[in-house]
Amino acid sequence: MNILETSFIQISSLIRNSNNLKLGSINSTENSSGDLVKELDIRAHNIIIDEIHKIPYIKGYISEESDDITFTSPDGQYIIAFDPLDGSSNINSNISVGSIYGLYLWDTELNGIGEIVVAGYCLYGPSTTLVRTQNESVKMFQLNQENEFKFISNLSLNGKSSKIYSINESNYYKYKNYKVKKNLIKYKMNNYSMRLVGSMVADCHRTLIQGGIFMYPATSKDPEGKLRIAYEVMPFAKIFELCGGASWDGEKSVLKNKIDLDNIHQKIPTYLGTKEEIYKFT
Ligand code: AHM
Ligand code: MG
């Protein structure tokens, strides 16, 4: 399913051809997660929902920028959850941002959200890169001068063992899981490098290409972490696991969770990486 590709091309063009300071300016007050909403968050959200309204198999959508689920096609079989613009705090500084989506089966018996079947993201970096699942594989495409996504490579984490960890370590004294603090010390003793863009899409993409681990654990300020399960963590968990890596929520694989219709902006502690790195937390 070449879903949302047209939207990603439009968002990429918007980012490249607009005043970054204006796109990164605050548009309104707060969204459901308590984040300050930027101009580009809203414009990317509107571009994506215009496309979704044209897709008959999508029953409804969940967006980081909408308070509730919105139903669009009564006969659709899927719910799409998306973060239109991930890494909002980086927009005005011309630092990589992205879009993330997950496509979930609609469970007609339970009248709720079933398992995730497709996941993808677009990274608006020095080049625009699209990564999405296709059956049991993960494929990477790059936007060319003709504005078409061209296939570059399959992605796999097998055999990648870079010593890189990615976390906002300024939260060190707020981490609730003692293994996080223990492993942060171990990384330093074992000559790991720390890398953090501050846009989940960019940090996870680097982890998928180079190996290592990306984390956003629970803190005393955010007891479930900061990242939202439906449109940030579950899609990446699907991608990491299909690449031969692993996902963890502090207790189990992220994929063992369900999306709760009554709590669509639910957050979850996040650990994504190679199996080797995730197993250090299990
Ligand atoms: P956003 O979707 O509003 O941009 O928020 C999610 C972002 C992630 O991209 C990133 O990993 C995280 O927030 C950074 O948060 P912090 O500044 O607390 O490290
Ligand atoms: Mg986000």
Q: Output the pTM of the full model.
A: 0.96
State mean pLDDT over 135-150: 97
Q: Is the CB of 157 under 6 A from ligand 1?
A: no
Place 6 in a pLDDT band, splitting at 50, 70 and 90.
Answer: very high
Q: Is the separation of the CB atoms in 80 and 56 below 8 Å?
A: no
65 in active site: yes
Atom of ligand 1 nearest to the CA of 201: 9
CB of 276 closer than 6 angstroms to any ligand 1 atom: no
Ligand 1 centroid from CA 278, angstroms: 21
**Model pLDDT, residue 27:** 74
pLDDT at 30 over 90: no
196 lines ligand 1 (CB under 6 A): no
Could you read off the pLDDT of 96-107 as tens digits, one per residue?
A: 999 999 999 999
199 CA: nearest ligand 1 atom = 9
